[in-house]
Amino acid sequence: MFLAADSVVLTLRALSFVAIFQAAGNALFLDLFGARLSAAVEERVRTLARIAAVAALCLAVLHYVLTPARMAGNLGSTFDPSLSQLLLESNAGSAHIVRILGLAVLFLSLDRRNRLNTIAMRAALGLTILSFALMGHTAIHPLRWLLAPLLLVHVAVAAFWFGALWPLHVIAGRESAERGGAAIAAYSKLAVRLVPLVLICGALLAVVLIRSVAELATAYGALVLGKAAAFALLMYLAALNRWRYGAPVAAADSAAVRAFRRIAAAEWGVLALVLVATALMTSLFAPAHLEGAFGSHLSEPHTDSSAAPPNGGPAR
């Protein structure tokens, strides 16, 4: 039963990360570039965002509801009132409530583009991204005042990057060359300034959380090194699309369009794997000097009804 509870909750957490980052980034893409698209393509991109948002909401709710089962190591403890109360009063409980509220508002705000929905969508994005800083390793660290802002920028830019890839895939295949090329160029111009912040903030977080070179040999250190390697691969793919295929796509070169879409899908796949790995590893492992420090905050599960809630884990 322990393995069943653990596997179910960790799977929900991993899938929720992918859906949350897709929904948030897709919505942000619409906010920034939706006006540049034709009505038909904008509606298709908006539909993708709505699907991602409802999936993220359902997964986040299920993850929260089943977390007491992981705390006890038994699916039969899902509705244990004492564990549910303990979770509610923890950092993880507060963070999940903020996240679920943000995702619910995000889904409702994606109905159509108007002033009220735009305001609601931006507020929802803020709540959803903020939830990552309310639990996990950064939430209990003495340098939280430094780590939390770094994590928020890291998460926000990663969501912008990840969530834009499927809209770009759609735009390249369905939008007119003129509109599509302009939208892709506008995205690339902003992305080239923002995406390096993922590496910069991630590196600064790693410097604080990993205190020695020897800690790179731990599971948490391996996660950091793996993410750095993935970032290098992603930078290569992004540069390929920007410099080799961006202009030909705008010129309606069909071969370039196919190549652009393949690379965008590959980028999405690599980033999705990074998100899944991050969700799993940060739930199971912590930086060496924080191991065992979650007792009264987010603690590791699998004890009994006196267990503290599990580490909700940040995106770092």
d(CA 258, CA 121): 32
**pLDDT value, residue 103:** 97
Walk along the chain (316 residues) and give the pLDDT tens digit of each residue. 546 778 899 999 999 999 999 999 999 999 999 999 999 999 999 999 999 999 999 999 999 999 888 888 777 777 888 888 888 888 888 999 999 999 999 999 999 889 999 999 999 999 999 999 998 777 777 888 899 999 999 999 999 999 999 999 999 999 998 899 999 999 999 999 999 999 999 999 988 888 888 888 888 888 889 999 999 999 999 999 888 888 888 888 899 999 999 999 999 999 999 999 999 888 887 776 565 554 434 433 333 333 444 544 444 4
DSSP state of 210: -
> Residue with structure tokens 């652009």?
260
CA atoms within 13 A on the CB side of 192: 11
* Residue-wise DSSP of 273-315: HHHHHHHHHHHH---GGGTTTTTTTT----S-TTPPPPP----
* Nearest CA among 157, 198, 163 for reference residue 25: 163
Contacts of 174 (CB under 8 A, 6+ apart): 40, 41, 44, 180
What is the model's pLDDT at position 288? 63
pLDDT at residue 43 in the model: 95
* pLDDT at site 218: 86
**pLDDT the model gives residue 90:** 85
Contacts of 120 (CB under 8 A, 6+ apart): 105, 108, 109
